[in-house]
Amino acid sequence: MTRKTVHLAVYDTYADWETGHATAHLVQNGFTVRTVGLTADPVTTMGGVRIQPDLALDALDPADSGLLILTGASLWETGDKLAPFAGAARTFLDAGVPVAAICGATAGLAREGLLDDRAHTSAASFYLEATGYRGGAKYVEADAVTDGDLITAGPTEPVAFAREVFARLGVYEGPKLDAWYRLFHDSDPAAYEILSA
């Protein structure tokens, strides 16, 4: 594997819609997306799609990855079953490998203490406050936030989330990054010409 491999965490109740823009355009730009489950057993997304993970979490090594993506899921709110993924995020960040978390995954990172000292966003500030974390002063009211190797976004911002992923990995830059966002977020037809140039 190379740093062109991105790992996508998958688990029961995984929020299907939150990573489609990011993963599709990463693959179209030469990246490989590999799915990671708690185990190698199949999972079922919130939309009822069955996914067979490519590998189990205990086989995941930051040295083999360019990014770990964590999505929302009902399970982030119903116990600590997904806590091992927040632990993996810590391992990635400690190794200098980026982590991108959207929706409920931000609460998992908050519980792990990973948002205490990093600028971040989520669904709402009070959503994260309910985790008992100490990072309230670092909360930013924005569609998506990048602080070094950590990307966060709220549940209604999959396009902004993808934009930050692309910027961090150098997939699109400058005018092309802006055009990609305007095309997919704002439906701006003028952006297509810039993106396809």
Query: In this structure, what token pair is assigned to residue 12?
Result: 């029961």
Q: Is the pTM of this model over 0.85?
A: yes
Q: Which CATH architecture best describes the domain 5-172?
A: 3-Layer(aba) Sandwich (3.40)
Report how far residue 128's alpha carbon sits from residue 21's, in angstroms, rounded to the nearest whole number. Answer: 25
Q: pLDDT tier at 196 (50, 70, 90 boundaries)?
A: confident
Report how far residue 174's alpha carbon sits from residue 56's, in angstroms, rounded to the nearest whole number. Answer: 36
User: How many angstroms separate the Cα of 185 from the Cα of each of 145, 154, 163?
Assistant: 16, 15, 10
pLDDT surpassing 70 at residue 153: yes
Q: Residues 117-135: pLDDT tens digits? A: 999 999 999 999 999 999 9
List residues with catalytic annotation.
103
The amino acid at 174: G
Query: In this structure, what token pair is assigned to residue 73?
Result: 């899921």
Which value, in Å, is the radius of gyration of the alpha carbons in the chain?
16
Q: Residues 56-93: pLDDT tens digits? A: 999 999 999 999 999 999 999 888 999 999 999 999 99
Query: In this structure, what token pair is assigned to residue 126?
Result: 């009070």
